[in-house]
Amino acid sequence: MLPRAGQQARAYPPTVSAAEILRRHWNDSGERLDRRLDGLTDREYFWSPVPSCWTVRPHVSLPDRWDIDYDWPTPEPPPFTTIAWRLVHLANGNWIYWEHAFGPGERMFPDLVVPGTADSAVAYWRDSRAPITSWLETATDEDLPQLRPSHLGAPRSAGDVMLILLDEQVHHGAEIGVMRDLYRALANG
């Protein structure tokens, strides 16, 4: 975890493995986002700061189900997205990349049950991290170049899968943090 004010920085040993670096960054960025999600309300979760945001919304034909807005390929420029969209997108990516690279590879994005509240989305994101965190706990540098199946077609190395998931977690986590800061600042006006 990154040091807070008054804490000493954790030093890497002179020789640290790539797997250890991935493990530390995965855990640190996940812990940071988890702290930033503390107290997230449904109102803030669904807050649309600009018109036409992509979000999570009730499914048009299935009662008690939710959908995440998404077009493939993503339009340019991509639409602005709510915290709901960012958090569910992050968890969905974890589930699908993980399931195809290390699991049965049976589900695709439309098969996932999208959460419709802030609390259920936070739990969904935490659950999506568990198998990745578990794999990283024992991963070695020798595991990283192993080719794994991908939902995108061509196999990817385990290291590439981990880097994609880490990049998504870091950048969407930072976006969620900024949106929470903005929401709070506007509310305190």
Q: What is the pLDDT of residues 72-81, one digit of tens each?
A: 888 999 999 9
pLDDT tens-digit profile of 10-45? 665 667 899 999 999 999 999 999 999 999 999 999
Structure tokens at 62: 């299935």
DSSP string, 23-36: HHHHHHHHHHHHHH
**Average model confidence (pLDDT) across the chain:** 92
Q: How many other β-carbons are positioned within 10 Å of the β-carbon of residue 47?
A: 19
The confidence band for 189, taking pLDDT boundaries of 50, 70 and 90, is confident
- 1 close to 31: Cβ distance less than 8 angstroms: yes
CA separation (Å) from 59 to 108, 128, 153?
17, 22, 28
Average pLDDT of the residues in 98-115? 92
Average pLDDT of the residues in 58-62? 90
Is pLDDT above 70 for 59? yes
CATH of 18-41+88-187, one of 3.90.1570, 3.30.70, 1.20.58, 1.20.120: 1.20.120
- Distance, in Å, from the CA atom of 56 to the CA atom of 51, rounded to the nearest integer, reads 14
Residue-level pLDDT at 4:
62
Is pLDDT above 60 for 178? yes
